Chain A
C-alpha cells in the first residue's frame, strides 16, 4: 500500500473535497432518517407534476441528472391520472428562468412555471455531490514519489463520493409543499451514489403512490 507523504497542496485538496463530502451529509440531515412531510389528501388530487432540474450549486451536472432520475421514476409508476412531465427546455439552451444552475429557484417561481405548464404540482429541490480523492491504491512508493501530486490524485487515487438530495413537491392549488424529504448516500463514486440518494428522497412518495393508485 502506498502511503508516502504527500506535499501540503495535495492534502489541502483532499481536505477541501472531504469537507465538501461532510457538508453534503450534514445538509441531508443524518442520512434522510427524518420522516417525510406528506399530505396524502393533497397528493391524491395531483394529476400532472412537472419535475424541474434540481439546483446543484457545487456541481452543475448533479441537479439535472437527479431530476431526470426522479422524472423517470415517477413516470415508470404508470399510474392512471398521474403524469410526470419535463419542464420547457429553454434552460438547456442557456436562457430562461432555470438557466442559472447555481441560483436557487424560489417556491413562487417554481409554482409559476407549473401554472404556465398547466401542471398541478412541481417537484423541486437541491442536490449536493462531492467527490473525495482517497490516496491508497496499490502502487510502489518509488513510482509514486516522482509523480506530481495532482497527477497522482487525478490518475490513481480512489474516489469516494457522497450525495444528498432534498426534494419538495409544491402543489399549485394549495400553494405549499405537500411532500418534502431528503436522502443521502455514499460510495465509490459514479452514478449509483446519486441514484441511492435520489431513491431515498423519493421513496415515501413512490411507496404511497404505488399503494394509493392502481397501476395501468
Chain B
C-alpha cells in the first residue's frame, strides 16, 4: 500500500474521534472505548449470546448472535464469523487448562487471525398483552393488543486481555412480534460502531 493511501486514514480517524468527543464530552463517546483497536481489526468472531432473564428470554441469545453477525457483515468493515472455529480451537485444549483460559483464548484467536471478540447479550425479552374494549350506545368492540419488548447489549473485547473495545446497548418494541423488536434493539446497539465504520469506509 502506498504512503499516499495511508495518509488520510489517521486524519479521518482523529476527525471522527474528535467529533465524538465534541458530542460526548471530554470522556469520549460512551460506547467507543478503543477506536484504534477497531480501526486495526480485520476479522471478528461473534460468540453465542446469553438469553434474557425472565420467562420468555432464555432462547433469545442464539437469535441475537445471528442478527449481530448479519449487522456486522453489512458494515463491510470486518470479516465476520460465528463461534465454530474458535470453539473447535479452544475446546480441544480447554480441559487441560484449569483456570480461566486467557492464554488459550489469546493463542486460539491469534492462530485463527481473529482480532476481536463480539459478545451479544439479550438483556430484556418479554411481551405485554392488553385487552381493549370500547362501548358505544348500540355496539361494542373488543380486541387484544400485544407489544413485544427487547433490549440487547453488544460488547467487543480484545481476545488477549479482555479489554473493552466497544460497548453498545439498544432497545426495541414492536406489535409485530419479537423479531422486529430484537432487530431494532440490535441496530441501536451497533449504531455507534456502524457510524464509525461508515466514516472509515468513506475515508478509504
Interchain CB contact under 8 A, B119 and A87: no
* Interface residues of B, count at CB 8 A: 57
A63-90 contact mask (Cβ, 8 Å, vs B): 1 or 0: 0110011011001101000011111111
Stretch binding the partner chain, chosen from B2-10, B35-43, B66-74, B121-129: B121-129
Residues of B within 8 A of A129 (CB): 53-54
In the assembly, what is the distance between CA of A180 and CA of B54, in Å?
Answer: 26
Please tell me if A97 contacts chain B, counting CB pairs below 8 Å. yes
A3-45 contact mask (Cβ, 8 Å, vs B): 1 or 0: 0000000000000000000000000000000000000000000
> When A59-B54, A139-B131, A190-B149 are in contact, do A86 and B164 touch as well, CB less than 8 Å?
yes
B142-175 contact mask (Cβ, 8 Å, vs A): 1 or 0: 1010000101010101000111100101010000
> When A62-B53, A96-B94, A190-B124 are in contact, do A118 and B167 touch as well, CB less than 8 Å?
no
Residues of B within 8 A of A50 (CB): 100, 162
Interchain CB contact under 8 A, A93 and B83: yes
Please tell me if A148 contacts chain B, counting CB pairs below 8 Å. no
Interchain CB contact under 8 A, A85 and B167: no
Interchain CB contact under 8 A, B164 and A85: yes
Residue of A nearest to B106 (CB): A88
Residues of B within 8 A of A78 (CB): 27-28
> When A88-B102, A88-B105, A90-B100 are in contact, do A137 and B130 touch as well, CB less than 8 Å?
yes
Interchain CB contact under 8 A, A61 and B50: yes
Interchain CB contact under 8 A, B101 and A116: yes
Taking the closest CB of chain A, its distance from the CB of B128, in whole angstroms, is 8
Looking at chain A's contact residues, the main secondary structure is mixed
In the assembly, what is the distance between CA of A159 and CA of B157, in Å?
Answer: 35
In the assembly, what is the distance between CA of A95 and CA of B153, in Å?
Answer: 22
In the assembly, what is the distance between CA of A177 and CA of B9, in Å?
Answer: 46
Please tell me if A138 contacts chain B, counting CB pairs below 8 Å. yes
> When A95-B91, A190-B124, A190-B149 are in contact, do A90 and B131 touch as well, CB less than 8 Å?
no
Taking the closest CB of chain B, its distance from the CB of A1, in whole angstroms, is 11
List residues 86-134 of chain A with CB under 8 A from any CB of chain B. 86-90, 92-93, 95-98, 112-113, 115-118, 129, 131
Please tell me if B44 contacts chain A, counting CB pairs below 8 Å. no
B86-100 contact mask (Cβ, 8 Å, vs A): 1 or 0: 110011001100111
Residues of B within 8 A of A69 (CB): 123, 153
Please tell me if A212 contacts chain B, counting CB pairs below 8 Å. no
Taking the closest CB of chain B, its distance from the CB of A89, in whole angstroms, is 5
Residue of B nearest to A133 (CB): B55
In the assembly, what is the distance between CA of A69 and CA of B144, in Å?
Answer: 34
Taking the closest CB of chain A, its distance from the CB of B168, in whole angstroms, is 10
Please tell me if A215 contacts chain B, counting CB pairs below 8 Å. yes
Interchain CB contact under 8 A, B100 and A93: no
Interchain CB contact under 8 A, B100 and A68: no
Please tell me if A216 contacts chain B, counting CB pairs below 8 Å. yes
Interchain CB contact under 8 A, A189 and B54: yes
Taking the closest CB of chain A, its distance from the CB of B124, in whole angstroms, is 4
Residues of B within 8 A of A117 (CB): 100, 102, 161-162
| Residues on A facing B (Cβ under 8 Å) | 50, 56, 59-62, 64-65, 68-69, 71-72, 75-76, 78, 83-90, 92-93, 95-98, 112-113, 115-118, 129, 131, 137-140, 143, 154-156, 158-159, 161, 189-191, 194, 215-216
